[in-house]
Amino acid sequence: MKLKNKVALVTGGTSGIGLEAAKLFQKEGATVIVTGTTQSRLDEAARILGDSAIALKVDSRDPAQIDRAIVDIVESHGRIDIVFANAGAGQAAPLEAVTPEQIEAQFSLNFNGVFFTIQKAAPHLPKGGAIVVTTSFLNETGTPGLSILSATKAALRSLVRTAGAELAPRGIRINAVSPGPIATPFHTKLGLSDKELADAGAAIEAAVPLKRFGEAQEVARAALFLASEDASFVTGTEVVVDGGLTQL
């Protein structure tokens, strides 16, 4: 078991990549705490993960809620060993249609949410603690209609380097896992029509060298590597899980 007796916080752990990571971390011996905002998804995640896990309603856009959740976890579990800062969402719009509200919404969840999760959790991580951040293939590509989502992920890639430099003296590692297109509910929340979604899906499958969407479990396995002692000399980097999309 790679995470025996570890306490692992997975934000956005009620669906897709986060839920698969929570299941895998649990299988590897961790006590997992997942967060999300939708009660039905929290209930379903709690059912799937069972009594040893905790599902907390925490809006990652609100630093006060993150702070409260971290305090609660530390009070109940004594510490946090692993943080998978994964919660994220996007909204598609061409340059001319992007509004200040859309920029604020995407940065407050994807960047600020991850930043404050790291800021508030880091003081409680022991030496050997690990943080994993979900970035995206979008931080390497120019994808029409996804300027703001892509920028939030590029900002996270940068944060992993700076936070890595700040936390390394305490023996805490921080890395990113960068998914390519993964089959999760994420895409249905981008605000695209069914036809736009179908067209984009077909174009993505054609563009990915391995000719398919990835599975959430495939990203979860990379997150497990980065969270575990298998990656004990790995910090500040990004593991790309994208079927070759950005590399070939």
Ligand X SMILES: NC(=O)c1ccc[n+]([C@@H]2O[C@H](COP(=O)([O-])OP(=O)(O)OC[C@H]3O[C@@H](n4cnc5c(N)ncnc54)[C@H](OP(=O)(O)O)[C@@H]3O)[C@@H](O)[C@H]2O)c1
Q: Which residues bind ligand X (CB under 6 A)?
A: 11-12, 14-18, 35-38, 41, 58-61, 86-89, 109, 134, 136, 179, 181-182, 184-186, 189
Question: Considering beta carbons, is residue 171 or 182 the nearer one to ligand X?
Answer: 182
CB of 199 to ligand X, least distance (A): 16
Q: How far is the CB of 5 from ligand X (least distance, A)?
A: 25
Closer residue to ligand X, CB minimum distance, 184 or 228: 184
Between residues 33 and 109, which has the closer beta carbon with respect to ligand X? Answer: 109
As measured in angstroms, the least distance from the Cβ of 185 to ligand X is 4
126 vs 149, beta carbon nearer ligand X: 149
72 neighbors 52 (Cβ within 8 angstroms): no
Nearer to ligand X, 126 or 191 (CB): 191
Shortest distance, position 177 Cβ to ligand X, whole Å = 9
CB of 232 to ligand X, least distance (A): 25
